[in-house]
Amino acid sequence: MKLFDLGTGFIAAVLVLLGTTQGVNTPQVEEEQVVAKTEVTTQLYVFNNSTSTGANSASNWIPTAPEDAPNCGQPGDVPCQIELDLTQYTDMADYLATNNFPTDADVVNGPDIQSKR
């Protein structure tokens, strides 16, 4: 009978020991927060002149935040702004070079250009 009590006690002790060490040996896996990255694929450029003079020069196009976009009003013969697709062009200089406008006045009719009077 003594052996039986020792065996039961031993088994109980082993179960208690396993139960208390179970959490210690189990690796804790921390969840990694996923942060969605939004990649900017467009850039608004605003023409900084009241005539088409200089429209073929990237230095006359100012990168602008969308919330600061001007109201171009009615279309006319002066470039106003463009929302440049950055998957197609690296910047305004690339846009102007790629489209190879013969004159400043031709820029107003360029792809995606919004004009003003």
pLDDT at 34: 77
77: helix, coil or strand? coil
Tell whether pTM > 0.75: no
Q: Which residues of 5-28 are buried (b: 16+ CB within 10 A; e: fewer)?
A: eeeeeeeeeeeeeeeeeeeeeeee
pLDDT classification of 36: cutoffs 50, 70, 90: confident
**Which residues contact residue 107 at a Cβ distance below 8 angstroms, ignoring those fewer than 6 apart?**
52, 55, 56, 79, 96, 101, 113
**What are 96's two structure tokens?**
């102007």
Asked if 117 and 74 touch (Cβ cutoff 8 Å), the reply is yes
- For residue 39, pLDDT beyond 80: no
- For residue 42, pLDDT beyond 90: yes
pLDDT at 2: 55
